[in-house]
Amino acid sequence: MPLQNKKVNAAITAVGMYAPDKILDNKYFESIVETNNEWIISRTGIKERRMMENGATSDMAAFAVQDLMKNSRLKPEEIDVIIVATVTPDMFFPACACLVQDKIGAKNAWGFDLSAACSGFLFALETGSKLIESGAYKKVIVVGSDKMTAITDYTDRNNCILFGDLASAVLLEPTEDLNYGIKDSLLYVDGTGKDNLYMKGGGSLRPASHETVDNKWHYIYQDGKVVFKVAVKGMADVSYDIMKKNNLTSDDVAYLVPHQANMRIIDATAERMGITKEKVMINIDRYGNTTAATIPSCITEYYRNGKLKKGDNLILAAFGAGYTWGAIYLTWSID
Ligand code: COA
């Protein structure tokens, strides 16, 4: 397809999400590991999370896109590209994007999965926005979907309380009005963090075997203390840097949309940006850490609750395994 000459921004023009019905509250964790409601709330901010009982990541992603389509004029055959950010694909291959394409009937789309853990939605949003800005594509679906309960060890009290299942999707379309849409990004990876947050087994390095199963290498491993420190610094610094780069003061920012891993990391990021609590999107209390789904689900819920208005400046920020981290600056374009 020819590249167009006219500059466009990519703007989010529709949103959707899917939350499974089953709720795992803190009381449930009191019954399976040595923990308590007060500890979990004070150390993480989480009260409950969701669990997908019948279905996988692609099902949740497809439900989220169907919800988006139900609430917009988008027809499945109009979709050009589907990008699924996930670290819990249904299987290594085919990609979740192919499974979602089939489930929603997007017969003219191509697509792929993107693996950047908790920064997955930001990396996918940046990728999708560049596909739009190139002029080659007009309708790009970006989905964050993770079934974290599939890779959580429910005997490990350090980690099992943190994660939940969720999916959320956005539609990117071009806008010629450059006052709106995605305006800037700062994204990073640093592979030296690989041993502090990872799933050790099942890949080509340590293929599934009795040893990998016996050692629980198919579950998330996290050194929470180490990751906590770098996550606070990474997310706070990059959020501050993108504001500075774009000459934004805290008054110019309507909302910080942070990855929801831990309330204390979110608070530290907001403090560094000089942003008050009311301007921070939060849903960690109801869903826990849902990896690639945290940021789009916050945006979806705040938009649907009437808390987002056209012209609002948002700073999206995330930190995750890899390490991966970054921030995106956008101006909301839906009335
Ligand atoms: N219930 C009760 N006590 C628990 C517990 C639980 N569920 N999990 C851990 N503890 C204990 C620890 O064993 C430790 O006890 P000890 O001092 O006797 O060893 C104590 O609580 C404090 O542990 P600590 O690691 O200092 O807690 P913390 O304040 O760092 O909180 C996390 C733990 C996991 C919540 C926190 O480190 C965290 O959020 N880490 C980063 C998560 C993240 O951002 N990931 C990246 C993006 S995905």
92-148 pLDDT, tens digit per residue, is 999 999 999 999 999 999 999 999 999 999 999 999 999 999 999 999 999 999 999
Contact between 149 and 23 under an 8 Å Cβ cutoff? The reply is no
CATH 3.40.47.10 residue window(s) in the chain: 3-178, 182-331
| Cα dist from 274 to 188, 253, 264, 281, whole Å | 23, 10, 15, 15
Atom 8 (ligand 1) nearest CA:
158
Evaluate the omega torsion of the peptide bond into residue 94 and state whether it is cis, within 30 degrees of 0: yes
Which residue out of 96, 118, 160, 298 is catalytically annotated? 118
Q: Give Cα separations from 144 to 43, 89, 118, 175 (angstroms).
A: 25, 11, 9, 23
Q: DSSP per residue over 177-233, as a string?
A: -TTSEEEEEEEEE-GGGTTTEEE-SSSSSS-S-HHHHHTTTTSEEE-HHHHHHHHHH
Q: Is the CB of 250 under 6 A from ligand 1?
A: no
pTM: 0.96
pLDDT digits (tens, 9 = 90+) for 56-97: 999 999 999 999 999 999 999 999 999 999 999 999 999 999
323 CB less than 6 Å from ligand 1? no
pLDDT band at 3 (very low <50, low <70, confident <90, very high): low
Residues 152 and 221: their CA atoms lie apart, in Å, by 9
Q: Is 210 a catalytic residue?
A: no
- According to the CATH classification, is domain 182-331 in 3.40.47.10? yes
Measured between its terminal Cα atoms, the distance across the chain in Å is 31
Residue nearest to atom 13 of ligand 1 (CA): 158
Q: Which two tokens stand for residue 266?
A: 């979110």
CA atoms within 13 A on the CB side of 174: 15
Q: Provide the mean pLDDT of the chain.
A: 97
Give the class (CATH, top level) of 3-178: alpha beta
> Would you say residue 2 has pLDDT above 80?
no
Report percent pLDDT > 90 for the chain. 98
pLDDT (tens digit per residue) in 251-304: 999 999 999 999 999 999 999 999 999 999 999 999 999 999 999 999 999 999
Q: What pLDDT shows up at residue 256?
A: 97
Task: Label residue 320 by pLDDT band (50, 70, 90).
Answer: very high
> How much is the average pLDDT of 35-47?
97
